[in-house]
């Protein structure tokens, strides 16, 4: 599916990756797989996937047409460049996931009150942040400020609003609170 196609600001071509990573996350949580992965092994998997992704990226840029400003094949469709780009994205996704596991296991293995609040509300924020960001972006549209300042304002406001909505509304709704 071409990358120009968007449904609610999401690219349908990425749905299989989202679904597979979500399913892997659910299975990993239920089976406590990540608890059993030693930090060194997670670091090795992260390094391996990310190091493998670098020459693939170079190959995609050189052989895929980007140097000649021919980027049509990167945008999806049934071709080798699009398949290579999808494989590269998967490698980076897996590599970064293992890197985060290793990093957090080493430096952030304790949870204080603030971290618990953020953790408890993260999934609801993930699910409900798009309309909040869109509404806030529309509200900030008329603000006379440089783009980076507006981006910073949007980021801070979206974090405050989404976490507040999650804690005060979404997680307290009957039925929905159990899921979130």
State the average pLDDT over residues 132-140: 95
Average pLDDT of the chain is 88
Max intra-chain CA distance, the chain: 56
Q: What pLDDT score does 133 carry?
A: 95
Instruction: For residue 72, name the pLDDT band (cuts at 50, 70, 90).
Output: confident
Burial of 37 (0-12, 13-18, 19+ CB in 10 A): middle
Predicted model pTM: 0.61
Report the distance separating Cα 81 and Cα 11, nearest Å: 18
Distances, alpha carbon 131 to alpha carbons 35, 86, 124, 137, 161, in Å: 34, 27, 13, 10, 11
- In 3D space, the residue among 80, 42, 32 whose CA is nearest the CA of residue 59 turns out to be 80
| Count of other CB atoms within 10 angstroms of residue 7 | 8
The secondary structure element, H or E, covering residue 110 is none
Tell me the two tokens of residue 74: 């990167």
Q: List the chain domain ranges.
A: 12-107, 113-179
Report the distance separating Cα 108 and Cα 158, nearest Å: 24
- Give tens-digit pLDDT for 15-52: 888 898 889 989 999 999 888 888 899 999 999 999 99
């Amino acid at each position: 599916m071409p990358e120009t196609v968007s449904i609610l600001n999401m690219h349908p071509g990425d749905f299989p990756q989202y679904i597979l990573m979500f399913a892997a996350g659910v299975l990993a949580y239920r089976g406590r797989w990540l608890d059993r992965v030693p930090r060194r092994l997670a670091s090795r998997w992260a390094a391996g996937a990310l190091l493998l992704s670098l020459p693939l990226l170079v190959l995609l840029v050189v052989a895929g047409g980007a140097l000649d400003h021919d980027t049509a094949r990167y945008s999806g469709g049934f071709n080798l460049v699009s398949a290579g780009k999808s494989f590269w994205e998967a490698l980076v996704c897996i590599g970064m996931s293992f890197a985060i596991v290793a990093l957090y296991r080493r430096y952030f293995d304790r949870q204080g009150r603030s971290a618990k609040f953020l953790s408890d509300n993260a999934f609801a924020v993930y699910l409900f942040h798009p309309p909040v960001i869109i509404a806030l972006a529309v509200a900030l549209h008329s603000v006379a400020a440089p783009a980076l300042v507006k981006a910073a304002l949007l980021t801070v406001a979206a974090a405050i609003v989404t976490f507040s909505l999650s804690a005060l509304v979404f997680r307290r709704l009957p039925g929905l609170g159990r899921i979130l």
